[in-house]
Chains A and B, each alone.
Chain A
Amino acid sequence: MINKLLEKIEEKWLFLIIVFLMYFVLWLVDSVKFLEVLYYFLNLLKEIIPVLFLVFFLMFISSMIFSSKRVEKLFGKDAGIISWLAAIIGGILSAGPIYVWYPMLSDFKEKGMRNCFITIFLYNRAIKIPLLPIMILYFDVQLIIILTIYMIIFSVINGIIVEKILKLNN
């Protein structure tokens, strides 16, 4: 996947250029809003930099520990119950915004991680343990518990469905 990504280098830069253009247009149209967006962007960047370091570190460690063979064995065709649990727990425990985890998942996908496990990991990222106290401030505890249980169950169902649909299309 990383190799494919490298081939798409123009697409990657094109995306960034389009976003820069959007900022430029905003600056022309409404400079106050532009500054607001810029301020938010810088704060967000400040927030995600530590997570990026964590992801980089995890990518490095996983490249040392998980060879293609090992990823294939753990998250490939013959994956067992541990693999499903690892994808669920990994998703729940992963910190920061969803997009900082794309590089690691892309690397794992290249090494043979099944689409269902990527889906499960990404879906469970929606369960934010550190944010639970804030959630309790706004919602009923019963609702939060029921919702969390359904999210975990559906992460697995979604993983299976996504994989089946992708296989059908192939």
Chain B
Amino acid sequence: MEVELAKNKFKETLFSFKQILPILFGVVMLVSFAVILIPKSFYKFVFIGNNFFDPLFGALFGSVLTGNPITSYIIANELLLSGVSLIAVIAFILAWVTVGVIQFPAESLMLGKRFVLVRNIVSFVSAIIIACLTVLTLSLI
């Protein structure tokens, strides 16, 4: 009886998974596309040295871009070395890992468009807030 149940559950899971594979395949292709076609040097030109706009731009570009988080650390380090503010850099890293514009089609197909839209907007705003709070806390310690 239990073996039969396990068999059925396995078949159900396999079926669900097969349905999702084209979306996953597509998103991996899209991520690869974005990672290679957006040159790393591009990021430095995004920031203008303004304390208000830089965190916003940081979060904005972190949201649009994608890839391994290690890449975001390397870019963030380069940005810091080239004089970009810490708030902007933290907002950039946070948005990179929490907001997913590239993954949006896949995520909305599986979790619902409205949920994904709201989740991404909230994550975007919180990336800027957390960046400000982190730098403020660091300055107080």
Query: Could you tell me the dominant secondary structure of chain A's interface residues?
Result: helix
Total A residues in contact with B, Cβ cutoff 8 Å: 71
Instruction: Give the residues in chain A near B9, CB-CB below 8 Å.
Output: 60, 63-64
A-side residues, CB < 8 A to B, are 1-2, 4-6, 8-9, 11-13, 15-16, 19-20, 22-23, 26, 33, 36-38, 40-41, 44-45, 48, 52, 56, 59-60, 63-64, 97-100, 102-103, 105-107, 109, 115, 118-119, 122-123, 125-126, 128, 131, 134-135, 137-140, 142-143, 146-147, 150-151, 154, 157-158, 161-162, 165-166, 169
Complex CA–CA separation, A106 to B86 (angstroms): 36
B-side residues, CB < 8 A to A, are 5-6, 9-10, 12-14, 16-17, 19-20, 22-33, 35-37, 69-70, 73-74, 76-77, 86, 90, 94, 97-98, 100, 103, 105-107, 109-112, 114-115, 118-119, 122-123, 126, 129-130, 133-134, 137-138, 141
Contact B33 A142 (CB under 8 A): no
Known contacts A26-B33, A59-B17, A146-B137; A52 and B24 CB within 8 A of each other: yes
Interface centre among B31, B37, B77, B98 (most CB of A within 10 A): B98
Contact B36 A37 (CB under 8 A): yes
Contact B20 A162 (CB under 8 A): no
